[in-house]
Amino acid sequence: MTVLVSSSVARGGSAARRLRTRAQAYLRRLGRSDAELSILITGDSGIRRLNRVWRKKDRATDVLSFPLSDPPGAGPALGDVVISIDTAVRRGGRDARTVRLELDRYLAHGILHLLGYDHEERDDAEVMAAGEEALVRGEGLVGSALRTESKGRNGAVARRRKKG
C-alpha cells in the first residue's frame, strides 16, 4: 500500500501525517491493501482553482477526487484526493465537529469516489453514505446531506398539509 501525502499550506503538515495513517486504515477496511493514492491538503484558494479548472465550478469545495482508472477503482493506482483544510476548519466549527473528524469525513468521501462510488442518484447516495459511515464510524458527508434533504422534504410536506 502506498499513500503519498503533501500539503500546500503551512497548517496542513500535521493533518497530512495523520491522514496518511487514516487512509491506510480505510484502504485496509475496504480490502484494498494493494492500493496507491495521493492526498493533497490545500486551502480554499487552491481547491477553488482546481474546482474551476476541472469541474467548471468557481468556488471552494471540501474535497475533490481524481480517479486514475476507468472505471474508477480498477487496478491498484486509485488516484488523487484533494482536501481543503480551510473548509474543514470552517464547517467543523459550524457543525460542532473537530477538524480531525471533518478531515476524516472528507478523506473517506474522496477515497470512495476513487473506488467508483457516487451520490448523484438516491440509491447510489445511500450506498455511498453507508460506506462513509463504515469508514469514519459515524455520519459522513453523503449521510449528512441525505439527512438534511429528508428534513427539508418532511418540513415541506408538513407545510403543504397545513395549507391544504
- Amino acid making up residue 49: R
State the DSSP code for 22.
H
- Please state the separation of Cα 18 from the chain's center in Å: 16
Question: Would you state the pLDDT for residue 24?
Answer: 96
Mind listing the pLDDT tens digit of every residue in the chain (164 residues)?
Answer: 999 999 999 888 889 999 999 999 999 999 999 999 999 999 999 999 999 999 999 999 999 999 999 999 999 999 999 999 999 999 888 888 889 999 999 999 999 999 999 888 888 888 888 888 899 887 777 877 777 776 654 443 332 222 23
Fill in the amino acid letter for 41. I
d(CA 82, CA 108): 12
Distance CA(114)–CA(148), nearest Å, equals 25
Which runs of consecutive H residues, i.e. helices, occur in the chain? Answer: 13-29, 44-55, 85-94, 99-114, 122-136, 141-163
Residues 85 and 42: beta-carbon distance below 8 Å:
yes
Side-chain-side CA neighbours of 84 within 13 Å: the count stands at 22
- Domain range 2-163, its CATH number among 3.40.50.300, 3.50.50.60, 3.40.390.30, 2.40.420.20: 3.40.390.30
> For the chain, which residues make up each domain, given as ranges?
2-163
How many angstroms separate the most distant Cα atoms in the chain? 59
Quickly count helices (H) and strands (E) in the chain.
6, 4
